[in-house]
Structure 1
């Protein structure tokens, strides 16, 4: 009878060991949850960037207003008859 109790105790210890340390343990599940949260945060940052870029693409597909605006701000476009004023901050 003692052997039966000893075998059962060893089996329980083995099962508990796998639960706490082995594959699929609490520690591994916790670590995977942390990785999922970090990846979701990174995905959110990339989604915001992608949304901004998509808005820019939609803006560029519109008629010449968007292209002219970019040329004015990035390249200093000035039409004939317009006067250019440069305001310098001290």
Structure 2
């Protein structure tokens, strides 16, 4: 009976070792759970960025106001017959 108890205790110890420290144990489970949470946060940021890009694409496809704004801001374009004035701050005037 004593040897059976020792065998069962050794088996229980081996199972506990596998549960806590072994492959696919609790340590790896918690690490995988943290990785999933981090990936879900990254995915949420990407979903928000994609939604912003889709709104911008729809705005560019639906009207000319967005295209005009983009051309003015990014490309520095002006309309024919329009006068463009550029105002420089006082500190930048001396650097010509």
Q: Please say whether Structure 1 and Structure 2 have the same fold, judged by a TM-score greater than 0.5.
A: yes
Between the aligned partners of 1:27 and 1:18, the Cα distance in structure 2 is: 10
Between the aligned partners of 2:40 and 2:59, the Cα distance in structure 1 is: 28
Offset of residue 63 of structure 1:
2.1
Matches within 5 A, 1:5-44: 5-44=5-44
Q: Which runs of 4+ in 1 moved over 2 A?
A: none
Task: Give SS of 1:58's match.
Answer: helix
Please give the TM-score of this superposition, normalised by the length of structure 1: 0.85
Offset of residue 81 of structure 1:
2.7
Q: How many residues align?
A: 90
The runs of 5 or more residues in structure 2 that have no matched partner are 91-96
The runs of 5 or more residues in structure 1 that have no matched partner are none
Offset of residue 87 of structure 1:
1.7
Q: Say whether 1:55 aligns with 2:90.
A: no
Offset of residue 68 of structure 1:
1.4
Between the aligned partners of 1:47 and 1:82, the Cα distance in structure 2 is: 40
